[in-house]
Amino acid sequence: MPDEKQVEYVANLARIGVSGDEAEHLSSQLSKILGYIDKLKELDVDNVEPMRGPSLKNNIFRKDEATDSGVQEDILKNAPSREGNYFKIPKVIE
């Protein structure tokens, strides 16, 4: 069961900020949910193949051709911050 420390570890992996109170709350809720999910341990699945999807029998590749969907400006319009044709973020190199 994830304790608050583990919740903070998972929060970091998931890139979601949490306060101490939130971590405590999430820890108790996730423990309850995972407690139910532990049901799956009742089953012997040693010789069972995992099923990743219903129809993913073969991977389907498209032709490796460059296309222009012509929506660059529309995409950039959705950006929270931009400069010219770039997404803008704070400086990351010291």
Partner 1 sequence: MDNLTGLTGIQIAQNIKNSKLSEKDACSFFRERINNNTSLNAFVESYEVPIGADGDSSLKGVPIAIKDNICIKGKKITCASKILSSHTAVYDATVITKLKNAGLKIIGTTNMDEFAFGSSTESSCYGVTKNPWDMQRVPGGSSGGSAAAVAARLVPFALGSDTGGSIRQPASFCGIVGFKPSYGRVSRYGLIAFGSSLDQIGPLTTNFTDCAHLLNIICGFDEHDSTSAPIEKKDFSKSLIEDVTGLRVGMPRQYFAKGIDEEIKNAILGVSRLLKEKGAAIVDIDLPHTEYAVATYYIIGSSEASSNLQRFDGIKYGLRESASGLMDIYKNSRRAGFGDESKRRIFLGTYSLSSGYYDAYYVRALKVRTLIKKDFDDAFKKIDVILTPTSPTAAFKIGEKATDPLSMYLSDIYTISANLAGLPAVSLPCGFTKNNLPIGAQLIAKEFDEETLIRAGYSYQCATDYHKRMPELK
Q: Which residues of this chain interact with partner 1, rule CB under 8 A? A: 2, 6-7, 10-11, 13-18, 26, 29-30, 32-34, 36-37, 39-41, 43, 45, 48-56, 59-60, 62, 69, 71, 74-75, 77-81, 87, 89-90, 92
Structure tokens at 31: 């423990």
Structure-block tokens of residue 76: 């950039």
CA distance 24 to 13: 17
d(CA 79, CA 76): 5
Least CB distance to partner 1 at residue 26 (A): 6
CB of 24 to partner 1, least distance (A): 13
